[in-house]
C-alpha cells in the first residue's frame, strides 16, 4: 500500500519539499508519495487529526504553523524546548513532533563557518525556524542576538537561551552587524513573490561576515545579492538547509539513509527551471 507524506503550511504552493522527497522515494525504490497541503491556522488541529485518521505516514510543517502545531502532537524533548516543530511522525499510532530545522541549519553553518563556539550570530526573526536555529547555535556555544520587529517576542526567545540578547529592528543594525561573525535571515523576507525585500543592504555588511538566508525561493535572494555587492566571501542560500532538514525528516519517517545528493539535485534543478 502506497504511503503518503506531505507538508502543511499557508502558503505552501512555493514549497519544493514534494520535489525533494519524491526524488528520494524514487531513488530508494519506495512506494510512497509526498504532497503539499494548504492548511490555515484555524484548520491546523483538524488537519493533524485528519492526517492521522486517514493513515498519512508523516508530515512536515512550514510557516506559519510550526509553533502552534506543537499543541497537537506529543513533542519530543528537543522540539518541546525549542517550542516549535517541523516534522510529524504517525508511525507509532499517535502524532509525534520533531524539529529538524536546527539540525539542518547547524550542519550548513558548520560546513560554511567551521567552529561555532564563540561566534557572534545575529539572527532575524523569532518564529519557529528562528527558535530552532537559535537553540542549536546556543548549545554549540555561540553568542546569539535575536532581532525582530516586535522586540518583546525577540526577548522571549532570547530569555530561553543561555547566552543571548534581543533587539528590535529600529536599532542601528549596521553597528550590530559590524560586531557579528554570522548573519542569518530566519524570516520570510525576500521570499517569492517579494523578491526585492531585504532587511540588510550592502553598506551594512563587512567582507568577513557569513551571510545565511534560509529562504530558497528565489535561490539568490536580495539579501544574498547585497552580500555579494559587499564583498562577502561566505554566502549560503536556503537550499542546503531545506535538504538537510528534509533528510533528517526522511530518516525519522523511514529509518532509511536519505539520498542527500539526489535530494539536493532535485531542488536545485527545480529552482533553475523556474528561475
Give the residue numbers marked as catalytic. 66
DSSP strand pairing (182-185 vs 210-213): parallel
Nearest-Å Rg of the Cα atoms of the chain is 18
Query: What letter would DSSP give residue 119?
Result: -
- Asked if 68 and 83 touch (Cβ cutoff 8 Å), the reply is no
Secondary structure (DSSP) of 191-253: -TT-TT--S--GGG--TT-EEEE---SSSS-HHHHHHHHTT-SEEE-SHHHHHHHHHHHHHHH
Residue 166's CB is within 10 A of a number of other CB atoms, namely 21
Q: What is the C-alpha separation between 57 and 22, in angstroms, rounded? A: 14
| Dist. CA 160–CA 111, nearest whole Å | 26
- Nearest partner of 126 among 66, 56, 55, judged by Cα: 66
Q: What is the side-by-side order of every strand in the sheet holding 74-75? A: 32-38, 3-9, 58-61, 87-89, 96-98, 74-75
Amino acid at each position: 500500500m502506497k504511503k503518503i507524506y506531505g507538508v502543511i503550511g499557508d502558503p505552501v504552493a512555493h514549497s519544493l519539499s514534494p520535489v525533494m522527497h519524491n526524488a528520494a522515494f524514487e531513488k530508494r525504490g519506495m512506494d510512497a508519495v509526498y504532497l503539499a497541503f494548504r492548511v490555515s491556522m484555524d484548520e491546523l488541529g483538524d488537519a493533524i487529526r485528519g492526517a492521522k485518521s486517514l493513515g498519512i505516514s508523516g508530515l512536515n510543517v512550514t510557516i506559519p504553523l510550526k509553533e502552534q502545531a506543537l499543541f497537537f502532537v506529543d513533542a519530543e524533548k528537543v522540539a518541546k524546548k525549542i517550542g516549535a516543530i517541523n516534522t510529524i511522525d504517525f508511525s507509532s499510532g499517535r502524532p509525534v513532533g520533531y524539529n529538524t530545522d536546527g539540525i539542518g541549519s547547524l550542519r550548513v553553518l558548520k560546513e560554511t563557518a567551521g567552529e561555532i563556539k564563540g561566534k557572534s550570530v545575529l539572527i532575524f526573526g523569532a518564529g519557529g525556524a528562528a527558535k530552532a536555529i537559535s537553540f542549536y547555535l546556543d548549545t554549540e556555544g555561540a553568542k546569539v542576538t535575536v532581532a525582530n520587529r516586535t522586540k518583546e517576542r525577540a526577548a522571549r526567545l532570547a530569555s530561553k537561551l543561555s547566552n543571548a540578547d534581543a533587539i528590535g529592528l529600529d536599532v542601528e543594525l549596521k553597528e550590530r552587524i559590524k560586531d557579528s561573525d554570522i548573519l542569518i535571515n530566519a524570516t520570510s523576507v525576500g521570499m517569492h513573490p517579494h523578491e526585492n525585500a531585504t532587511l540588510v543592504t550592502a553598506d551594512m555588511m563587512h567582507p568577513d561576515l557569513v551571510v545565511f538566508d534560509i529562504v530558497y525561493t528565489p535561490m539568490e535572494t536580495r539579501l544574498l545579492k547585497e552580500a555579494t555587492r559587499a564583498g562577502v566571501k561566505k554566502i549560503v542560500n536556503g537550499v542546503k538547509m531545506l535538504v538537510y532538514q528534509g533528510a533528517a525528516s526522511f530518516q525519522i519517517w523511514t529509518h532509511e539513509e536519505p539520498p542527500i545528493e539526489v535530494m539536493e539535485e532535485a531542488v536545485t534543478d527545480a529552482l533553475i527551471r523556474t528561475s
